[in-house]
Chain A
Amino acid sequence: MSDAADTGPVLAADGTPLKRSLARALRVQKTRALLLIAPLLVFVLISFIMPIASMLFRSVENDIVRNTLPETVPLLAEWDATSGELPGEEVYAALARDMIVAVNAKEHTKLATRLNYEQTGIASMFRKSGRQIKKWDPVADAPFKDKFIELHEGWGELETWKTIQTHSSTYTSGYFLNAIDMQKTPEGIQAQPENKQILVKLFIRTLIMSLIIMGACILLGYPVAWILANLPANKANLLMILVLLPFWTSLLVRTSAWKVMLQQQGVINDVLVWIGLVDDANRLIMINNQFGTIVAMTHILLPFMILPMYSVMQTINPSYVRAAKSLGATNWTAFWRVYFPQSVPGIGAGSILVFILAIGYYITPEIVGGTKGVFISNRIAYHISSSLNWGLAAALGTILLAAVLILYWAYDKIVGIDNVKLG
């Protein structure tokens, strides 16, 4: 080798410098690898990233007002909401033209649903007015101001016009404000009335309970993983099946089983009453509250903690602990100073898995959570499938996603993501 260093750059067999030749080979390899994963990349992009992005985009999208009332919105923008007077006839005339088109296209009720999120009662005002407006002629029936007010008194109220004006921008921060218990009103950004504030509380509860579940999984999973990793193979395999069996069982079955176990006339209470620990009249309440959610979710997520821990512990060489002991360490010191630090990457991987899964969990809290054990994801599900307020659901989802990313980043800063190992 020292000879080669004296005669300039090392050459490959074909005479090109070895460095360049290596780089080319590497590049070819990289391209091939990229081509091999290209189908997956495209698939993920089309079926995962794009739908998520388009769903998240709904949290700021608000073109429905402008699109449904294209003539009214610009005219209304010039109206001074603080003047205390209703908009002039030209605004009502524009509204009549817009509404006639919208009613015939059946668009007015969609707009009504949107505006009803902001002002209760607008939905039926639009729906009732729509039936009459259908018969109007935009020219012959003018003037419209009194006609509208005659149709529904809401058209003669300042609040209605202020609401339309406030929410007519193409993009809105309204959904995000709603998601943190604020609201966008004609008078500016305000806190929601206290009796409607719930979402911030749910976000905090979701974070705290997910952390508790993660902690419970670490405490319960660590010894199990240790035993698995240190038993002889045949016994470890048997134990492994016990860990995996629940993992393969349907989520709903496991959650329902916890219901049977924990309810007041359930197995655990029956046993406690039978052995006399609990009075029959004072059976423990262990379900439909936070306790139920934590127990059921810890059980369901436990395999996600045990498996990464186990695969990391398997790679820890037992001779290190033996060496520590032979050098005079007590059992505890040998474990704590030698074994435990080597198992931390497994704890890290398991914790991230469990925490991120827990934070988005929906079905288990819904079934066993009662009123105090539900998560923010239950509200997201409600707004997606029940209230149809997809904008708010998207805003809540975006915040949740951002929270997870921030926590991931924080974890990387504090522990270092390189310290996470799945085996």
Chain B
Amino acid sequence: MKLTKTLLATTALTVAAGTVTAEEMTIVSWGGAYSKSQLKAYHEPYSEKTGVTIINDDSSAEAVAKLRAMAEADNITWDVVDVVAADALRLCDEGLAMEIDPDTMLAPAPDGTPASEDFGDLLVGDCFIPQIVYSTTFGYRTDMVGDTPPTDVCAVFDLEAYPGKRALEKRSINNMEWALLCDGVAKDEVYDVLATEEGQNQALAKLDTIKDQVVWWNAGADTPQLLADGEIVMGSTYNGRLFSVIEEQKQPVAMLWDAQIFDLDGWIIPAGLSEERKARALDYIMFATDTQRLADQAKYISYGPARKSSAPLVGKHAELGIDMAPHMPTDPNNAKNTFLYNYEFWADYRDDIEAKFQAWLAQ
């Protein structure tokens, strides 16, 4: 009898301990400078305000696969996950992310504009809560391009004017679009052309012209490293990575904003959280995606806030003290010629085109 009681008491204690530690939440992101910007702009003020401890997990690169595995094991340990919009769409399709009603779950702009209008078109799919606009664009070595620095994205395909290696991402997305743009396809027809077998062959044929001069990268940090080492003359990567090479490490590198491809990054809340955890995740989201908070993040990294109302609030870099607005991909000077990534298209064609692309790579 005594034993049973002791056991029961221990169990009760364990359960109680379990609920006590629940005052913490796990937020998944990309790591590096990006996680740091979120820590400064969102996590620290939120912890201060609510006392919730935030645990960082740098697993965003494998978030979709891991969330799927967690859902199958029926043990979801993440509360809020930072993913790119395309992954959010897939998580939503798989039923792994919670559907969001922007107007009730997200804060309105300071002037009262509802969130759905403030975010506008950037609310891709039913589960995605946009956070930043980033772009994939090219950087080049200023000391390796001679007297005529490139101004056009097609310089990537021009081996005569700009000899040397270039770095491209080791996947079809973005590269196929640039190849078609530089092969004379009009901007608004790119995806129509890419939907056809001939269009895909056309893009691969264009990439074929530079294939033996390309270094293929997997991680966003590869291109900045290759540029700093002088291994390549130009290469694509995320604009924030180039910002840190140029402004923080003072390398002889410049941005080629032409035909930058806009993409979105943001939050999802995993489906199937307990009511308590869901409420906390929503509370965090409400806090972290309000107008001021989104503008604050731009103090630490050169990605554009996803809210229209945040743009005027973007100030100076917290450590370098330089004006951040001219470094945003959305700045009018940088956004003269931009390209918007088509989520619907890639959701459909990704498997097919990626298989062809990888087969082409291996040839």
Contacts and interface: CB of A to CB of B under 8 A. Distances in A.
Contact of B351 (A117, A367, A371, A385): A117
A265 B359 contact: no
Given A116-B351, A127-B93, A366-B218, A198 B362 contact: yes
A366 B94 CA distance: 28
Which 8 residue pairs across A and B have the least CB separation, nearest first?
Answer: A109-B93, A198-B359, A106-B95, A385-B65, A120-B352, A371-B361, A196-B355, A124-B348
A113 B96 CA distance: 13
A379 B358 contact: yes
A21 to B, nearest CB: 43
Among A106, A379, A389, the most chain B Cβ lie within 10 Å of the Cβ of A106
B173 to A, nearest CB: 11
Interface residues of B, number: 34
Given A112-B93, A121-B348, A366-B218, 8 more contacts: A110-B95, A117-B351, A122-B348, A202-B362, A263-B229, A265-B230, A370-B215, A389-B351
Contacts of B247: none
Interface in B314-363: 344, 347-352, 354-356, 358-362
B24 interface: no
A372 interface: yes
Main secondary structure of the interface of B (DSSP, over half): helix
B162 interface: no
B36 interface: no
Interface string B192-228: 0000000001000000000000011010000000000
A31 to B, nearest CB: 31
Interface string B230-264: 11000000000000000000000000000000000
A384 interface: yes
Give the interface residue-count category, chain A. Answer: 35 or more
B68 interface: yes
Nearest to A125: B348
Contacts of B170: 371
A201 interface: yes
Interface in A233-270: 263-266
A196 B95 CA distance: 30
Contacts of A388: 64-65, 68, 90, 94
A197 interface: yes
A47 interface: no
A387 interface: yes
Interface in A365-401: 366-367, 370-372, 374, 379, 382, 384-389
Contact of A372 (B65, B348, B351, B362): B362
A348 to B, nearest CB: 33
Given A288-B216, A379-B358, A388-B90, A120 B349 contact: yes
A195 B93 contact: no
A123 interface: yes
21 contacts: A113-B90, A113-B93, A113-B94, A116-B348, A120-B349, A121-B349, A123-B348, A124-B347, A124-B348, A196-B359, A198-B358, A198-B359, A202-B362, A371-B216, A371-B361, A372-B362, A385-B65, A387-B350, A387-B351, A387-B354, A388-B68
Contacts of B90: 113, 388
A198 B355 contact: yes
Contact of B64 (A197, A264, A385): A385
A96 B21 CA distance: 46
Nearest to A113: B93
Contacts of A110: 93-95
Contacts of A127: 93, 347
Nearest to A127: B93
A107 B93 contact: no
Given A120-B351, A195-B359, A385-B65, A263 B231 contact: yes
Contacts of B65: 384-386, 388
A112 to B, nearest CB: 7
Contacts of B359: 195-198
B101 interface: no
B50 to A, nearest CB: 31
B38 to A, nearest CB: 22
Contact of B94 (A109, A117, A197, A384): A109
A265 B360 contact: no
B23 interface: no
Contacts of B362: 198, 201-202, 371-372, 374
Contacts of A389: 351
B68 A196 contact: no
A379 B361 CA distance: 13
A123 B347 contact: yes
Contact of B231 (A122, A265, A366, A371): A265
B152 interface: no
Contacts of A106: 95
A90 B94 CA distance: 28
Contacts of B165: 264
A264 B165 CA distance: 10
Contacts of A107: 95
B95 A109 contact: yes
B231 to A, nearest CB: 5
B283 interface: no
Give the one of B95, B170, B350, B359 with max A CB within 10 A: B359
